[in-house]
């Protein structure tokens, strides 16, 4: 399945006093990776929301292996796990500049109809692009 990579420079505000990235920032990095992955197909959250589709995270798992540090550039590699249905699943690997694995993660998001607040099938326009 399609893979996308983004690069993020760690900002001072994302770290503790020792310059280590706080664990709570990694879900934000995953979101950035996922958003850019979708963008490579011409899909954006704002477009989906205008069409009445929400995509909330319903499950997230992270395995922290090593720390990232202030001013490092990390790579977030995002990959679609399988063809979406009512859910869309991603796997991620975050590495540092030495290509060492910092975090392995996965997320599951559900397609939700904004009017009914109920799960829905992945829109055809998304499936067609994948």
* Residue of 35, 28, 102, 31 lying closest to 64 (CA atoms): 102
CA distance 39 to 45: 9
- Has 16 been annotated as catalytic? yes
- Report the candidate in 73, 130, 76 with the shortest Cα–Cα distance to residue 105: 76
Q: What is the DSSP letter of 123?
A: P
Phi, psi for residue 86 in degrees, rounded to 5:
-85, -20
d(CA 107, CA 33): 11
Active site residues: 16
């Amino acid at each position: 399945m399609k893979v996308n990579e983004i690069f993020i420079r760690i900002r001072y505000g994302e770290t503790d006093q020792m310059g280590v990235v706080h664990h709570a920032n990694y879900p934000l990095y995953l979101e950035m990776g996922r958003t850019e992955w979708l963008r490579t197909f011409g899909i954006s959250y704002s477009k989906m929301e205008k069409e009445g589709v929400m995509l909330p995270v319903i499950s997230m798992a992270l395995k922290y292996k090593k720390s990232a540090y202030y001013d490092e550039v990390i790579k977030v590699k995002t990959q679609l796990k399988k063809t979406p249905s009512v859910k869309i699943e991603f796997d991620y690997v975050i590495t540092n500049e030495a290509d060492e694995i910092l975090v392995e993660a996965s997320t599951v998001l559900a397609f939700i109809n904004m009017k009914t607040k109920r799960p829905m099938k992945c829109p055809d326009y998304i499936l067609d692009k994948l």
